[in-house]
Structures are given as structure tokens and as C-alpha cells.
Amino acid sequence: MKECAESRISAGERCLVVDLEACSGMDSTFMGQLASFSTRLSKLGAPDGMQVAGAGERNRASLEDLGLDCLLEIDPPEAVWRGREAEIRSGLEPYQPGHQPDVKERAKHILEAHKTLAGASEENARKFAGVVGILEKEVAENERKAD
């Protein structure tokens, strides 16, 4: 997902829509990545930056629990895709990643996502302090092994 979103942003897209219709649950890394995309798009001046479609009750609650409803538009009623979800979904094709990250890249990615979540609010900073600390140690250890 990260590679796909980064390529679209680099290509000039200023509104990304993540469809959670078929998603039964999200982990903190995924939600941190959504927050990261939103922050990046906001810095580029994108007013509609990151939108979530088909969140459902459970996913909406997860996003709201971490305060991400302040960073993301969740099922925005005025979105240009509203009322056309089935048509758009039927025309989608799976993204073909060009690069598979190695263990070190994945660890950095997970750390980045959790730092983004921790930076979203003081409550999140407390929730994720332990996880961020563990991930920082893991990334540092991976770097030492590479040297």
C-alpha cells in the first residue's frame, strides 16, 4: 500500500481514497500509514487529501479511537465518488508492487507508521510509547548488523 500511495502522490494525485468495504479489521501499522499519507498530502496543500470509503462500524471506531478522524475524511458525504462505489470497484485492478521490502525496510516502515500514530495526540503518544521504543531498538539493531 505504501509503494502504491507514494507512486500516486509522486505522480501528482492530491486525493487518495482507501476502500475498506472488504476490510474486517486494521492493525496499527495500517492506520499509521493512512495517517502518514494524510499528513503528506496536507503538507502538499491537498484539501481532500486522504479519504476512507466503506469504513463500516468497526473500522470507523478503530480510526476514531486513535483520533484519525481528524486527519482523514471517513465516508465524506460530498466526495466525488459517492454513489459510484460499485461502478468504481468493478473497474479496479490489483496493484502490482515493483519492490518487495526486506526485513530492515519493513521494520523502518512499521516504526514510521507508529511514530505517526504517536504524533497524532498525547493519548496516542502514551499508547504507543512502548511499541515505538521496541521498534527503535529493532531498527538500530538491524543497522548495527548491516555494518
* Digit-coded pLDDT (tens) for 78-100: 999 999 999 999 999 988 888 88
Helix (H) or strand (E) holding 64: helix 56-65
Give me the phi and psi of 22, to 5 degrees please: -95, 10
CA geometry: angle 47, 94, 29, nearest 5 deg: 60
What is the percent of the chain where pLDDT is above 90? 85
Give the rounded distance of the alpha carbon of 44 from its chain centre.
16
Rounded Cα distance, 136 and 112, in Å? 10
Among 9-23, 93-107, 130-144, name the one with the lowest average pLDDT.
93-107
